[in-house]
Structure 1
Amino acid sequence: MIQNEYITSSEAAKLLGISLSSFYRLERKGYISPAEVTKYRKVYTKKSIVELAKRYVQEQEERHKETAIKRIQGSYLYKRSYLNNGDDVTQIKTGLEISKKFKHILSQLRTLLHNTRLRSRRSILPFAAGILLIFIPLAVLVTRHATEVSAWYDDNWNYRVKYTISNSGSADS
């Protein structure tokens, strides 16, 4: 067994650029089979790992092409150019660029709103603390004073008061 031809599972995972758990998942599904299995470790041939990597890259490219075509077909600009019989590559490309710019603008808007919300939260906090510590106790004191102290006018003036006049010259009510 030549050392250069065989690699361990951790080396193969590093070569593929995936985690070890993902590598074992691929092995369970049957995409990868070890060249030799010993009591302590499994070894793989570099050739089989490289073939798997090539096949994986090709599948990813095909998947990306399919999703790009689906995105293009679903976009408004593609449908409009298709109706005008002008669905050439440049119009499709401009449609994709416009949709990417729109997504970028939306993501910037989301961060801008988030930052504004944080700034307003920071500026509202001292204002709210001032209201809680100064204005509410002041309002309570003013209303308590108004309820405890009698009015500035005499509210008994409207009622008739009975006076009895005695011989001593004093008036009793």
Structure 2
Amino acid sequence: MEQKMIYAFRGWIAFVAFMDLGTAIRSYIEKRSFLVNTAENEYNDDEFTVSRILGIYSILKALVLVHCTLYIHYKPIVSIGICSLIITIMLYLTETIYFRTATLNFYVIFPCVLNIFTLVGLIYFPIKLNLWNYIESSEESQFILKPPSMCRKRRSTRNNN
């Protein structure tokens, strides 16, 4: 049952990464960012800088989440995923509530809800499913952490022959 849950959650993270790639593509195709409030006409972005920056950020976040999907049993990768989700939520909320450069619409609410669910899952599932304790005690991790002295001995014997 635990394996099914972790595979389902990995699929969820991949879905959120796919949504970020969609945001990046939309940022380059539309050339108008939803973070720029066009109703007030105070900010004129003729070169579409905000849209390109949001697109690149979305691509970076999607790459982090894909790595988080593949390597969810490693603490540093999960912490990078958590940090990217927190930064994205802060970006959307500060742009709409504090700076008021974006309106509170579907393009802000939907990614925030997705990112909040994913953030809660990234905090909850690895701890509940005990993923980190499993990888620390497995033989694979012990092999990876073993010093590379065996490789040096093999090379030196090859050179002597």
TM-score by length of 2: 0.30
Higher strand share: 1
Whose relative contact order is higher, 1 or 2, with alpha carbons under 8 Å and at least 6 apart?
Answer: 2
Q: Which protein has the bigger helix share?
A: 2
Higher CA-based Rg: 1
Q: So what's the TM-score if we normalise by structure 1?
A: 0.28
